[in-house]
Amino acid sequence: MSKRIYVEKRNHDASVAGLEQAWDQLLEESVRPTIFASFDYVQTSIRHLNRGEQIFYLLMRAEKNDGRLLAVFPLCIRPRKEHGVSLRVVMHALPPQTTEVDKPCPVIHKDHEADCWMAFADFMKSEFKAWDIIDLEELVAGSFFPEHVKDLFSLSSALPRVKKGPDSPIVDLSVSWEDFWSHHRKLRKKCGRLERRIEHLRHEITNDSKDIIRCLENYIEVEKISWKEGEMVAYHREFYADLLPRLAEKGRVWFSTLYDGEVLVSVEMAYTYLNQVYFCHGTYAPDYAVHSPGMVNSCWFIRHFTGHAYAEGDYLAGFASYVDPWAYRQEHTREVVVYRTGWKLGALFLFHAARKAKFFIKKMRKK
Q: What is the pLDDT of residues 171-196, one digit of tens each?
A: 999 999 999 999 999 999 999 999 99
Structural domain contains residue 319: no
Structural domain contains residue 367: no
Q: Is residue 115 domain-shared with residue 212, that is, in the same domain?
A: no
Structural domain contains residue 63: yes
Q: Is residue 180 domain-shared with residue 126, that is, in the same domain?
A: no
Containing 133, the helix (H) or strand (E) segment is: strand 133-140
Q: Is residue 15 domain-shared with residue 125, that is, in the same domain?
A: yes
DSSP SS3 for 290: helix
What's the pLDDT tens digit per position in 195-238? 999 989 999 999 999 999 999 999 999 999 998 887 889 999 99
Structural domain contains residue 316: no
Label residue 363 by pLDDT band (50, 70, 90). Answer: low
CB 331 within 8 A of CB 143: no
Whole-number pLDDT of residue 68: 84
Alpha-helix runs per DSSP H in the chain: 20-28, 39-49, 113-122, 144-152, 177-182, 185-197, 212-225, 237-249, 293-305, 343-366
CB atoms within 10 A of CB 273: 19
Q: Can you state the angle between helices 20-28 and 39-49, rounded to 10 degrees?
A: 120
For CA atoms 217, 101, 308, 306, the dihedral sign is negative
Burial status of residue 358 (CB atoms within 10 A of its CB: 0-12, 13-18, 19 or more)? exposed
What's the pLDDT tens digit per position in 69-114? 999 999 999 998 888 889 999 999 986 566 678 899 999 999 999 9
Q: Is residue 253 domain-shared with residue 269, that is, in the same domain?
A: yes
DSSP secondary structure of 152-183:
HS-TTTEEEEEEEEEEEEEEE-SS-HHHHHHT
DSSP conformation class of 341: P
Domain with residue 284: its CATH number is: 3.40.630.30
DSSP SS3 for 319: coil
What is the mean predicted confidence (pLDDT) over 351-359? 73
Structural domain contains residue 230: yes
Strands 312-314 and 276-284: parallel
Q: Is residue 63 domain-shared with residue 212, that is, in the same domain?
A: no
Q: Is residue 137 domain-shared with residue 233, that is, in the same domain?
A: no
Q: Is residue 302 domain-shared with residue 190, that is, in the same domain?
A: yes
Q: Is residue 132 domain-shared with residue 15, that is, in the same domain?
A: yes
Q: Is residue 116 domain-shared with residue 226, that is, in the same domain?
A: no
What is the mean predicted confidence (pLDDT) over 294-321? 90
- Phi, psi of 282, deg, nearest 5: -155, 145
Is 60 exceeded by the pLDDT of residue 3?
no
Count of structural domains, the chain: 2
Label residue 1 by pLDDT band (50, 70, 90). Answer: very low
Whole-number pLDDT of residue 269: 97
Out of 86-95, 220-229, 309-318, 339-348, pick the least confident: 339-348
Expressed as residue numbers, the domain containing 95 is 6-166+332-358
Cα dihedral 240/243/244/250 (nearest 10): -170
Whole-number Å distance between alpha carbons of 220 and 199: 25
For the chain, what is the mean pLDDT?
91
Whole-number Å distance between alpha carbons of 8 and 11: 10
Task: In the chain, count H helices and then E strands.
Answer: 10, 13
Structural domain contains residue 64: yes
How many Cα atoms within 13 Å fall on the side-chain side of residue 70?
22
- pTM of the complete model: 0.90
